[in-house]
């Protein structure tokens, strides 16, 4: 049962009262944004029934959309208004992006996984957000051309605040980020002149901020407030399509399960299977840099593997490949 539109709207209002107001978020602008953004359109078909539940939800590729309260809390801590220009790192399905777009003047959002960015693009375009620019790529380097920002929201956990992001914060601006390995603390960094004041808020749990997505120059804008004819995210990057064969001690060592996880985390399409001769064969397709990074992983494999040889050959791209599976 997914419920009709009015039922979903009722659930959304209840979500705000029971999960957010009751836990102490009182900023009226944040509450108004949370009341108006249709979270169920962002979570994906399978999760519509749980869209307004008090929990994070999987959005594919090993990533999650944060619990509604966490989105509201981070937005409240950022303290932005219509005069603010905001940077979001880790846009995921675009829900937090939309909440920010309700409150801030301009939102610049970056997501490293192209398929998720495509979902975010489609939903933001459908809802007509004109003050959002979305790019695929690494957000750790920030968005230099548009800096400084009055607010920077990082939706993935890091051991420390990336220095590039700190440098792109406006005087008086705030940066909100989960800090720590394993145990994480939502942290607010406020810039006062040349000083950075750090305040620890609540404990939290986010997926890690990944630093292998390449330099800022490789970033591609895929949504520009619905104005520019931005390329489709999957086409914005150079695609590489290969078959690889790995020999050595590679069966019975969790090579396939690990490869599936590594491939999915990089947004790749393809499969991995055991061959009768004791080797493992992989089909990898996706953004060229991600395929190359995956091949680097394949050369080493999981801890128990001993790879003696990796052979790679380019094959024609296959549009019908979906996800990354063990065969
Ligand atoms: N707020 C999002 C969910 C964030 S999950 C939502 O509403 O859906 C964290 C996201 O950060 C994931 O989608 C992950 O792919 C992305 N991410 C991780 N490292 C990144 C990086 N270096 N640059 C950009 N995005 C990154």
Ranking 79-83, 102-106, 219-223, 262-266 by mean pLDDT, the lowest is 262-266
The pLDDT, as a whole number, for residue 213 is 54
Q: What is the mean pLDDT of residues 88-104?
A: 96
pLDDT in tens, 237-251: 577 899 999 999 999
CATH of the domain at 306: 3.30.70.100
- Ligand 1 site, CB within 6 A: 59, 63-66, 89-90, 92-93, 95-96, 110-113, 116, 138-140, 155-156, 207, 209-211, 213
Domain end position, chosen among 185, 213, 229: 229
Domain end position, chosen among 197, 229, 261: 229
Q: How many CA atoms, within 13 angstroms, populate the side-chain half-sphere of residue 24?
A: 5
User: Which domain covers residue 88, as residue numbers?
Assistant: 5-229
pLDDT in tens, 276-294: 999 999 999 987 878 888 9
Same domain for 218 and 284? no
Same domain for 191 and 55? yes
Cβ proximity of 255 and 280 under 8 Å:
yes
Same domain for 222 and 244? no
229 pLDDT exceeds 70?
Answer: no
Pocket test of ligand 1: the residue of 96, 111, 267 to mutate, having most ligand atoms within 8 Å of its CB, is 111
74 pLDDT exceeds 90?
Answer: yes
Pocket test of ligand 1: the residue of 56, 156, 165, 267 to mutate, having most ligand atoms within 8 Å of its CB, is 156
The C-alpha atoms of residue 175 and residue 297 are separated, in whole angstroms, by: 33
Same domain for 196 and 285? no
pLDDT in tens, 1-32: 445 767 888 999 999 999 999 999 999 999 99
Q: What is the pTM of this model?
A: 0.74
CATH of the domain at 77: 3.40.50.150
The residues annotated with a catalytic role in the active site are: 66
Positive/negative CA dihedral, 148, 153, 155, 158: positive
Same domain for 136 and 194? yes
Helix segments in 242-314, DSSP class H? 255-265, 288-298
Domain end position, chosen among 174, 202, 229: 229
The pLDDT, as a whole number, for residue 44 is 83
Q: Confidence class of residue 308 from pLDDT cuts 50, 70 and 90?
A: very high
The C-alpha atoms of residue 193 and residue 173 are separated, in whole angstroms, by: 10
The pLDDT, as a whole number, for residue 280 is 98
Q: What is the mean pLDDT of residues 110-115?
A: 92
Mean residue pLDDT of the chain comes to: 91
Same domain for 163 and 193? yes
Strands of 239-249's sheet in order across: 306-314, 239-249, 280-287, 269-274, 324-326
């Amino acid at each position: 049962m997914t419920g009709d539109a009015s039922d979903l709207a009722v659930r959304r209002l209840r979500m705000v009262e029971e999960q957010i107001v009751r836990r102490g978020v009182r900023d009226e602008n944040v509450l108004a944004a949370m009341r108006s953004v249709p979270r169920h359109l962002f979570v994906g078909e399978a999760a519509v029934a749980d869209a307004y539940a008090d929990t994070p939800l999987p959005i594919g590729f090993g990533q999650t959309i944060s619990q509604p309260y966490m989105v509201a809390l981070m937005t409240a801590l950022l303290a932005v208004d219509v005069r603010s220009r905001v940077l979001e790192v880790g846009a995921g399905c675009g829900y937090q992006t939309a909440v920010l777009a309700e409150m801030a003047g301009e939102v610049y959002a970056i997501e490293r996984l192209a398929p998720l960015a495509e979902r975010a693009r489609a939903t933001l375009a459908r809802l007509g957000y004109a003050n959002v620019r979305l790019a695929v790529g690494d957000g750790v380097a920030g968005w230099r051309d548009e800096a400084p920002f009055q607010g920077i929201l990082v939706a993935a956990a890091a051991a420390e605040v990336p220095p590039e992001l700190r440098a792109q914060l406006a005087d008086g601006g705030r940066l909100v980020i989960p800090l720590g390995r394993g145990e994480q603390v939502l942290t607010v960094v406020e810039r006062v002149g040349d000083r950075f004041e750090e305040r620890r808020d609540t404990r939290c749990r986010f997926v890690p901020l990944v630093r292998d997505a390449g330099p800022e120059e490789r970033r591609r804008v895929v949504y520009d407030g619905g104005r520019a004819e931005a390329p489709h995210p999957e086409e914005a990057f150079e695609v590489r399509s290969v078959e690889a064969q790995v020999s050595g001690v590679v069966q019975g060592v969790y090579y396939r399960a690990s490869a599936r996880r590594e491939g999915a985390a990089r947004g790749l399409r393809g499969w991995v299977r055991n061959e009768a001769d004791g080797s493992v064969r992989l089909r990898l397709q996706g953004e060229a840099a991600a395929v190359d990074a995956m091949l680097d992983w394949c050369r080493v494999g999981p801890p128990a593997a001993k790879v003696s040889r990796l052979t790679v050959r380019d094959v024609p791209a296959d549009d019908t490949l979906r996800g990354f599976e063990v065969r």
